[in-house]
Amino acid sequence: MSQRRKLAAGNWKMNGLQAQLDEVAALAGAHTDPGCDILICPPATLLSRMADRAAGSFVAVGGQDCHPALSGAHTGDISARMLADAGASHVIVGHSERRTDHGEQDAVVRGKAEAAIAAGLVAVVCIGETLEQREAGETLRVIGTQLAGSVPDGIDAASLVVAYEPVWAIGTGKVPTLGQIAEVHNFMRAGLVARFDRAADGVRLLYGGSVKPSNATEIFAVSNVDGALVGGASLKADDFGGIIAALERA
Ligand code: PGA
Protein backbone atom coordinates (compact mmCIF):
# COMPACT_ATOMS: atom_id res chain seq x y z
CA MET A 1 0.00 0.00 0.00
CA SER A 2 1.42 3.36 -0.93
CA GLN A 3 1.51 6.19 1.58
CA ARG A 4 -1.51 8.35 0.98
CA ARG A 5 -1.49 11.85 2.39
CA LYS A 6 -4.69 12.36 4.33
CA LEU A 7 -7.23 14.95 3.20
CA ALA A 8 -9.68 17.01 5.23
CA ALA A 9 -12.17 18.49 2.77
CA GLY A 10 -14.91 20.96 3.69
CA ASN A 11 -18.04 21.39 1.58
CA TRP A 12 -19.79 24.62 2.44
CA LYS A 13 -22.74 23.83 0.15
CA MET A 14 -25.07 26.84 -0.29
CA ASN A 15 -23.68 28.58 2.78
CA GLY A 16 -21.24 31.42 3.18
CA LEU A 17 -21.15 35.16 2.62
CA GLN A 18 -18.09 37.36 2.50
CA ALA A 19 -18.03 37.64 6.29
CA GLN A 20 -17.31 33.92 6.54
CA LEU A 21 -14.02 34.32 4.72
CA ASP A 22 -12.54 35.03 8.13
CA GLU A 23 -13.08 31.34 8.95
CA VAL A 24 -10.61 30.47 6.24
CA ALA A 25 -8.09 33.00 7.50
CA ALA A 26 -8.44 31.47 10.99
CA LEU A 27 -7.95 27.98 9.62
CA ALA A 28 -4.94 28.98 7.56
CA GLY A 29 -3.40 30.75 10.55
CA ALA A 30 -3.95 27.80 12.88
CA HIS A 31 -2.49 25.19 10.51
CA THR A 32 0.79 26.55 9.22
CA ASP A 33 2.34 23.12 8.69
CA PRO A 34 -0.51 20.61 8.77
CA GLY A 35 0.04 16.88 8.78
CA CYS A 36 -2.68 16.48 6.16
CA ASP A 37 -4.05 18.30 3.13
CA ILE A 38 -6.82 20.81 3.82
CA LEU A 39 -9.44 21.75 1.24
CA ILE A 40 -12.43 24.08 1.43
CA CYS A 41 -15.10 24.13 -1.25
CA PRO A 42 -17.07 27.36 -0.82
CA PRO A 43 -19.98 28.51 -2.99
CA ALA A 44 -18.78 29.74 -6.38
CA THR A 45 -19.43 33.34 -5.38
CA LEU A 46 -16.65 33.17 -2.78
CA LEU A 47 -14.18 31.01 -4.62
CA SER A 48 -11.90 33.63 -6.03
CA ARG A 49 -11.80 35.73 -2.86
CA MET A 50 -11.24 32.66 -0.74
CA ALA A 51 -8.40 31.59 -3.01
CA ASP A 52 -6.85 35.03 -2.46
CA ARG A 53 -7.23 34.71 1.31
CA ALA A 54 -5.77 31.21 1.30
CA ALA A 55 -2.87 32.04 -1.02
CA GLY A 56 0.47 31.10 0.52
CA SER A 57 -1.22 28.92 3.15
CA PHE A 58 -1.77 25.18 3.25
CA VAL A 59 -5.49 25.57 2.60
CA ALA A 60 -6.56 24.60 -0.92
CA VAL A 61 -9.80 25.82 -2.44
CA GLY A 62 -12.23 23.88 -4.62
CA GLY A 63 -15.52 24.11 -6.44
CA GLN A 64 -18.67 22.17 -5.54
CA ASP A 65 -19.65 21.24 -9.09
CA CYS A 66 -18.68 21.87 -12.70
CA HIS A 67 -20.21 21.41 -16.13
CA PRO A 68 -18.93 18.60 -18.36
CA ALA A 69 -18.31 21.04 -21.24
CA LEU A 70 -15.36 23.40 -21.52
CA SER A 71 -17.54 26.43 -22.31
CA GLY A 72 -20.74 27.25 -24.13
CA ALA A 73 -24.41 28.13 -23.86
CA HIS A 74 -25.16 26.73 -20.41
CA THR A 75 -26.76 29.52 -18.41
CA GLY A 76 -25.93 29.38 -14.74
CA ASP A 77 -23.28 26.69 -15.06
CA ILE A 78 -19.56 26.91 -14.41
CA SER A 79 -16.84 25.04 -16.28
CA ALA A 80 -13.89 23.31 -14.68
CA ARG A 81 -11.56 25.69 -16.48
CA MET A 82 -13.38 28.66 -14.92
CA LEU A 83 -12.94 27.11 -11.48
CA ALA A 84 -9.23 26.64 -12.11
CA ASP A 85 -9.02 30.21 -13.37
CA ALA A 86 -10.67 31.41 -10.13
CA GLY A 87 -8.02 29.64 -8.03
CA ALA A 88 -9.54 26.20 -7.44
CA SER A 89 -7.39 23.09 -7.36
CA HIS A 90 -10.21 20.60 -6.75
CA VAL A 91 -13.89 20.19 -7.55
CA ILE A 92 -16.56 17.98 -6.00
CA VAL A 93 -18.66 16.09 -8.56
CA GLY A 94 -21.65 13.82 -8.09
CA HIS A 95 -22.56 14.94 -4.58
CA SER A 96 -25.81 13.24 -3.61
CA GLU A 97 -27.52 16.64 -3.35
CA ARG A 98 -26.64 17.24 -7.01
CA ARG A 99 -27.78 13.74 -7.90
CA THR A 100 -31.10 14.33 -6.09
CA ASP A 101 -31.76 18.02 -6.76
CA HIS A 102 -30.56 18.02 -10.37
CA GLY A 103 -31.13 14.42 -11.43
CA GLU A 104 -27.46 13.80 -12.14
CA GLN A 105 -26.73 10.23 -13.18
CA ASP A 106 -23.40 8.44 -13.20
CA ALA A 107 -22.67 9.26 -16.86
CA VAL A 108 -23.04 12.99 -16.20
CA VAL A 109 -20.90 12.74 -13.08
CA ARG A 110 -18.25 10.92 -15.05
CA GLY A 111 -18.32 13.65 -17.72
CA LYS A 112 -17.84 16.26 -15.03
CA ALA A 113 -14.94 14.34 -13.52
CA GLU A 114 -13.33 14.06 -16.96
CA ALA A 115 -13.75 17.80 -17.51
CA ALA A 116 -12.27 18.53 -14.09
CA ILE A 117 -9.21 16.39 -14.70
CA ALA A 118 -8.74 17.83 -18.19
CA ALA A 119 -8.72 21.31 -16.61
CA GLY A 120 -5.99 20.25 -14.20
CA LEU A 121 -8.27 19.91 -11.18
CA VAL A 122 -8.53 17.03 -8.75
CA ALA A 123 -11.98 15.46 -9.11
CA VAL A 124 -13.63 14.54 -5.79
CA VAL A 125 -16.20 11.99 -6.95
CA CYS A 126 -19.01 11.31 -4.46
CA ILE A 127 -20.97 8.08 -4.25
CA GLY A 128 -23.30 6.62 -1.64
CA GLU A 129 -26.42 4.59 -1.03
CA THR A 130 -29.80 5.74 0.24
CA LEU A 131 -31.33 4.33 3.41
CA GLU A 132 -33.79 2.26 1.37
CA GLN A 133 -30.93 0.74 -0.61
CA ARG A 134 -29.00 -0.08 2.56
CA GLU A 135 -32.04 -1.63 4.21
CA ALA A 136 -32.63 -3.71 1.09
CA GLY A 137 -29.08 -5.06 1.32
CA GLU A 138 -28.06 -3.28 -1.89
CA THR A 139 -25.28 -1.09 -0.56
CA LEU A 140 -22.32 -2.76 -2.23
CA ARG A 141 -24.16 -3.22 -5.50
CA VAL A 142 -25.03 0.49 -5.56
CA ILE A 143 -21.51 1.51 -4.60
CA GLY A 144 -20.04 -0.77 -7.26
CA THR A 145 -22.34 0.62 -9.94
CA GLN A 146 -21.70 4.25 -9.01
CA LEU A 147 -17.96 3.71 -8.78
CA ALA A 148 -17.83 2.04 -12.18
CA GLY A 149 -20.12 4.62 -13.77
CA SER A 150 -18.86 7.84 -12.21
CA VAL A 151 -15.07 7.40 -12.20
CA PRO A 152 -13.43 8.06 -15.58
CA ASP A 153 -11.00 5.71 -17.29
CA GLY A 154 -7.28 6.29 -17.25
CA ILE A 155 -7.08 8.06 -13.92
CA ASP A 156 -3.91 8.76 -12.06
CA ALA A 157 -3.94 8.79 -8.31
CA ALA A 158 -3.12 12.47 -8.03
CA SER A 159 -6.19 13.59 -9.95
CA LEU A 160 -8.87 11.51 -8.25
CA VAL A 161 -10.41 11.39 -4.79
CA VAL A 162 -13.47 9.25 -4.09
CA ALA A 163 -15.82 10.15 -1.25
CA TYR A 164 -18.18 7.58 0.24
CA GLU A 165 -21.18 9.52 1.48
CA PRO A 166 -24.17 7.45 2.56
CA VAL A 167 -27.11 9.68 1.65
CA TRP A 168 -28.85 8.91 4.97
CA ALA A 169 -25.82 10.11 6.96
CA ILE A 170 -25.53 13.53 5.33
CA GLY A 171 -26.64 16.33 7.61
CA THR A 172 -28.60 13.92 9.79
CA GLY A 173 -26.22 13.24 12.67
CA LYS A 174 -26.48 9.54 11.80
CA VAL A 175 -23.23 7.76 11.06
CA PRO A 176 -22.72 4.21 9.82
CA THR A 177 -20.98 1.82 12.17
CA LEU A 178 -17.23 1.60 11.81
CA GLY A 179 -17.73 -1.88 10.37
CA GLN A 180 -20.10 -0.53 7.72
CA ILE A 181 -17.61 2.19 6.77
CA ALA A 182 -14.78 -0.35 6.60
CA GLU A 183 -16.84 -2.70 4.44
CA VAL A 184 -17.57 -0.01 1.86
CA HIS A 185 -14.08 1.53 1.88
CA ASN A 186 -12.39 -1.85 1.47
CA PHE A 187 -14.85 -2.67 -1.31
CA MET A 188 -14.10 0.63 -3.08
CA ARG A 189 -10.35 0.08 -2.82
CA ALA A 190 -10.68 -3.43 -4.21
CA GLY A 191 -12.88 -2.17 -7.05
CA LEU A 192 -10.41 0.55 -7.98
CA VAL A 193 -7.46 -1.85 -7.82
CA ALA A 194 -9.30 -4.33 -10.05
CA ARG A 195 -9.86 -1.57 -12.58
CA PHE A 196 -6.74 0.57 -12.34
CA ASP A 197 -4.18 -1.78 -10.85
CA ARG A 198 -1.38 -0.01 -8.98
CA ALA A 199 -2.61 3.50 -9.81
CA ALA A 200 -5.50 2.80 -7.43
CA ASP A 201 -3.19 2.47 -4.43
CA GLY A 202 -2.69 6.21 -4.26
CA VAL A 203 -6.33 7.26 -4.70
CA ARG A 204 -7.62 8.80 -1.51
CA LEU A 205 -10.94 7.53 -0.18
CA LEU A 206 -12.85 9.97 2.02
CA TYR A 207 -15.75 9.21 4.31
CA GLY A 208 -18.48 11.87 4.44
CA GLY A 209 -21.71 12.19 6.43
CA SER A 210 -22.09 13.83 9.86
CA VAL A 211 -18.35 13.87 10.60
CA LYS A 212 -17.61 16.04 13.65
CA PRO A 213 -14.67 16.50 16.00
CA SER A 214 -16.27 14.02 18.43
CA ASN A 215 -16.46 11.10 15.98
CA ALA A 216 -13.56 11.91 13.66
CA THR A 217 -10.85 10.00 15.52
CA GLU A 218 -12.64 6.65 15.38
CA ILE A 219 -13.66 7.11 11.75
CA PHE A 220 -10.09 7.96 10.73
CA ALA A 221 -8.85 4.74 12.33
CA VAL A 222 -10.92 2.67 9.88
CA SER A 223 -8.96 0.91 7.15
CA ASN A 224 -8.90 2.67 3.78
CA VAL A 225 -10.34 5.90 5.21
CA ASP A 226 -7.91 8.57 4.03
CA GLY A 227 -9.80 11.57 5.31
CA ALA A 228 -13.23 13.14 5.34
CA LEU A 229 -15.60 15.24 3.28
CA VAL A 230 -17.28 17.46 5.85
CA GLY A 231 -20.41 19.56 5.40
CA GLY A 232 -21.89 21.29 8.44
CA ALA A 233 -18.82 20.99 10.65
CA SER A 234 -16.62 22.64 8.01
CA LEU A 235 -18.38 25.98 8.35
CA LYS A 236 -16.65 26.95 11.60
CA ALA A 237 -12.87 26.99 11.79
CA ASP A 238 -12.99 25.60 15.35
CA ASP A 239 -15.02 22.51 14.40
CA PHE A 240 -13.16 21.89 11.19
CA GLY A 241 -9.90 22.44 13.05
CA GLY A 242 -10.90 19.69 15.49
CA ILE A 243 -11.44 17.30 12.57
CA ILE A 244 -8.11 18.31 11.01
CA ALA A 245 -6.38 17.68 14.34
CA ALA A 246 -7.94 14.21 14.53
CA LEU A 247 -6.73 13.48 11.01
CA GLU A 248 -3.22 14.68 11.81
CA ARG A 249 -3.11 12.22 14.72
CA ALA A 250 -4.50 9.31 12.66
P1 PGA B 1 -22.47 16.75 6.62
O2 PGA B 1 -22.36 16.78 5.01
O3 PGA B 1 -21.06 16.67 7.15
O4 PGA B 1 -23.16 18.04 6.98
O5 PGA B 1 -23.25 15.55 6.96
C6 PGA B 1 -21.41 16.01 4.34
C7 PGA B 1 -21.48 16.27 2.87
O8 PGA B 1 -22.58 16.39 2.32
O9 PGA B 1 -20.44 16.35 2.20
Number of domains in the chain: 1
> Is the Cβ atom of 225 under 6 angstroms away from ligand 1?
no
Question: Which residue(s) pair with 185 in the sheet?
Answer: none
**Which residue among 104, 129, 165, 185 is the active-site one?**
165
Q: Which atom of ligand 1 is nearest to the CA of 97?
A: 8
pTM for the whole structure = 0.97
Share of the chain above pLDDT 70, in %: 99
Q: How confident is the model over 79-131, as pLDDT tens digits?
A: 999 999 999 999 999 999 999 999 999 999 999 999 999 999 999 999 999 99
CA 239 distance to own-chain centroid? 17
Asked whether residue 77 is assigned to any structural domain, the reply reads: yes
DSSP string, 50-108: HHHHHTTSSEEEEES--BSSSSSS-TT--BHHHHHHTT-SEEEES-HHHHHHS---HHH
CATH of the domain at 138: 3.20.20.70
pLDDT at position 45? 97
For 96, the domain range is: 7-249
Computed over every residue of the chain, the mean pLDDT equals: 96
**Which residue among 67, 95, 114, 129 is the active-site one?**
95
- pLDDT of 165 strictly over 90: yes
Asked whether residue 162 is assigned to any structural domain, the reply reads: yes
Asked whether residue 1 is assigned to any structural domain, the reply reads: no
Name the residue at shortest CA distance from atom 7 of ligand 1.
231
Label residue 117 exposed, middle or buried (CB < 10 Å: 0-12, 13-18, 19+). buried
Q: Which atom of ligand 1 is nearest to the CA of 209?
A: 5
Q: How confident is the model over 178-187, as pLDDT tens digits?
A: 999 999 999 9
Asked whether residue 234 is assigned to any structural domain, the reply reads: yes
Q: How confident is the model over 201-232, as pLDDT tens digits?
A: 999 999 999 999 999 999 999 999 999 999 99
Asked if 165 is an active-site residue, the reply is yes
Asked whether residue 2 is assigned to any structural domain, the reply reads: no
> Is the Cβ atom of 206 under 6 angstroms away from ligand 1?
no
